[in-house]
Amino acid sequence: MPRKKEKKARKRVKYKIIMIKVTARQKKSLMNYSKLRHTTPNKLIKKAIRPLLQNYADVELIPNPKAQVNQLELF
């Protein structure tokens, strides 16, 4: 009888804390919306920003080569 393949252990995901401030009205709105959608506010926020962040993890920051409009170019 052949042995079953052992599953590889997943690499542990590292989480970082990001804090944002919202007004009391925004918090109430967020809580009500998440309750209606049967989810948590954290999952709701993560789902909203995922499309904006998923493609930028491995991109190096490239400085903008354009000179400012009011800047004099001598060379």
The residue among 24 and 71 whose pLDDT is bigger is: 24
Query: Are the CB atoms for 41 and 32 separated by under 8 Å?
Result: no
Nearest to 33 by CA among 48, 52, 54, 18: 48
Structural domain boundaries of the chain? 24-50
* Residue 70 to residue 56: CA distance in whole angstroms: 31
The residue among 40 and 2 whose pLDDT is bigger is: 40
pLDDT at 67: 62
pLDDT at 3: 74
Q: Taking residues 12-37, what's their average pLDDT?
A: 95
Dihedral sign (CA 23, 28, 31, 33): negative
